[in-house]
A and B are shown apart, each in its own frame.
Chain A
Amino acid sequence: MSVMRGKVVLITGGTRGLGKAMAQLLAQEGAAVVVTSRKAKAVTKRLKNPFGNIQEMPLEVSDEKSVQKLFGWLEATFSSLDVVVNNAGVGVFKPLTDISLKEWNETIGTNLTGVFLCAREAFRRMKKQGGGRIINIGSIADYMALPLGSAYGASKFGVRGLTQVLNEEGRDLGVRATLISPGATYTEIWKGRKGFSPKDMLSPEDIAEAVLDVARRPLRVRVDEIRILPPKGVL
């Protein structure tokens, strides 16, 4: 199937874990996919993928200049920008009293300010072209309290609020925002850790399918949020 043929998709992060699964699925469905990485070189690199187009660009989501540079490149390279997935994120899990200001700032900077900066540029472009989709990847931590997740939870609750406002501001401009909140998902970071079995967890492909499901919809369809959990519920 090629339900995304002719569409251009940006996925922040996207070189591993959830983002990588999204990039592969959307590219396989025909989209031109751009993924980002903090470590990428200044020039674009095409990623090995036998089924579609994925190229990697450097991006530091919390840096306004870096975000503007990427969106400038997108504007000069692709005739449209149909879907932006704010997927890049970091996590720090410690008791509140142990979290340093630096850790707090890094978490908020990447998870919340990063989404603001990318959503702002995406919104500007989509407004100009008559619409588009912004998909923010949240977490169960965007609707419930997880102990040890003060900074993480604050950033994800912030993304929830931002997503809702985006939808209201984008209502008459064709800009649609969706919050996708995955439960525990088995990625390479959990490999070998005690108490984390892939059997009890979602796979990155499960989340990617939810992203595709939203991304492919016509803009008259607004999907405010999707909560996905493994059968076991919250781990």
Chain B
Amino acid sequence: MKVALVTGAARGIGAATAKALAAEKFAVALLDLDAAGAERVAAEIRAAGNQAHAVACDVGVRASVEAAIASSTAKLGEPSVLVNNAGIGGPFHRIDEVSDDEWDQIVATNLKSVFLFSRALLPKMKVRGYGRIVNIASIQGLLGASRSSTYVATKHGMLGYTKAIAAEWGAFGITCNAICPGYVETAMGVQADKVDAYLENVLKKTPVGRVGQPDEIAALVVYLTGDRSGYINGAALVVDGGITAHVGIT
């Protein structure tokens, strides 16, 4: 059985991705700081007749990453698919309000994590002759945003790192791509049932006139980790309802 490892799998895009991969008959390792949340999703996957294993993991800390990989490998086998999804958005400070700790924490969770998992798993994928890495970035990996400077920097960094992996490891049957979601209905994104000025603004700037759903991101992860996607490598694929295609002035 093929094994996929998904970080930040307790909720939102990560949980949807874990479920979608399980439906494709992957055994899924669900990593999250919120171990109980990851276990709830894992239990749901198992109830549907598929394999899942939840592990607590602080993705920005090397020892925690290595322990989580060891635990999931012992339980399910070696992953040939890695989805770097874990990330934090806020707090939303102006640059002159950002503390060193805040910068370090966002960089560790959003960007260092990608390095830690890639470094640990790429050599194993090379031995297998096959691997798929999908990094969940953001449209803020392509565009700037106010009061999100650290987040914007990490997501831009993620896209650069995606291309570097693609260039360095493509020869070994490994591809690495990024997905740049727009506004998705998650705890971290927007909540469609809470219509406020922020959501109104998002909808005004989104040509399709709605927010995205986690399963719409998961569907692309499934495609990118499938057998037909071998020629897509180093891409940043935008799934944002047209936000970044739209100047937004007229």
B1 touches A53 (CB 8 A): no
Query: Known: A44-B129, A55-B129. Contact between A76 and B1, CB under 8 A?
Result: yes
Chain A 42-58, CB-CB to B under 8 Å as 1, else 0, gives: 01111000000101010
Q: Is A75 close to B, CB under 8 A?
A: yes
Residues A45 and B1 in contact, CB atoms below 8 Å apart: no
Residues of B contacting A77 in the complex (Cβ-Cβ under 8 angstroms): 2, 80, 128-130
Give B119-130 as 1s and 0s: 1 = Cβ < 8 Å from A's Cβ atoms: 000000001111
Max count, chain B CB within 10 A of own CB: residue among A46, A75, A77, A78: A77
Chain A residues near B171 (CB-CB < 8 A): 46
Q: Tell me, in angstroms, the Cα distance from A7 to B2 when the chains sit together.
A: 16
B residues 72-109 in Cβ contact with A at 8 Å: 77-78, 80
For this complex, into which size category does the number of interface residues on chain B fall? 20 to 34
Inside 8 A of B200's CB, which chain A residues have their CB? none
Q: How far is B173's CA from A5's CA once the two chains are assembled, in angstroms?
A: 16
Residue pairs across A and B with Cβ atoms less than 8 A apart, 30 shown, are: A5-B228, A6-B226, A6-B227, A6-B228, A7-B227, A32-B227, A32-B230, A44-B127, A44-B129, A44-B130, A45-B129, A46-B129, A46-B172, A53-B173, A53-B230, A55-B129, A55-B130, A73-B128, A75-B1, A76-B1, A76-B3, A76-B77, A76-B78, A76-B128, A77-B80, A77-B128, A77-B130, A78-B2, A79-B24, A80-B227
A79 to B130, CA, bound (A): 12
Minimal Cβ-Cβ distance residue in B for A43? B127
When distances are taken between beta carbons in the complex, the residues of chain A under 8 Å from B78 are 76
- Roughly how many angstroms separate A56 CA and B81 CA in the complex, as a whole number? 21
Interface 1/0 per residue, B57-73 and A, CB below 8 Å: 00000000000000000
Which 3 A-B pairs have CB atoms at the shortest separation, nearest pair first? A44-B129, A6-B228, A55-B129
Per a CB cutoff under 8 Å, which of A8, A73, A76 touches B227? A8
Number of interface residues of A (CB under 8 A): 19
Q: How far is the CA of A79 from the CA of B228 in the complex (A)?
A: 11
Complex Cα distance A26/B92, Å?
53
Inside 8 A of B226's CB, which chain A residues have their CB? 6, 79
Chain B's closest residue to A78 (CB) is B227
Residues of A within 8 A of B (CB): 5-8, 32, 43-46, 53, 55, 57, 73, 75-80
Do B3 and A79 touch (CB < 8 A)? no
A6 to B229 Cα, complex, angstroms: 9
Does chain A have a CB within 8 A of B147?
A: no
Question: Chain B 167-197 against A: per-residue CB contact (8 Å), 1 yes, 0 no?
Answer: 0000111000000000000000000000000
Q: Is B163 an interface residue (CB 8 A)?
A: no
**A53 to B80 alpha-carbon distance, docked (Å):** 17
Contacting residues, chain B, for A8 (C-beta < 8 A):
227
Closest beta carbon of chain B to A72's beta carbon, Å: 10
Q: Which A residue's beta carbon lies closest to that of B26?
A: A79
Query: CA A77 – CA B25 in complex, angstroms?
Result: 12
Q: In the complex, what distance in Å separates the CA atom of A46 from the CA atom of B127? A: 11
With a cutoff of 8 Å between Cβ atoms, the chain A residues found around residue B77 in the complex are 76
Measured CB to CB, the nearest residue on chain B to A7 is B227
The docked-state distance in angstroms from the alpha carbon of A6 to that of B173 is 15
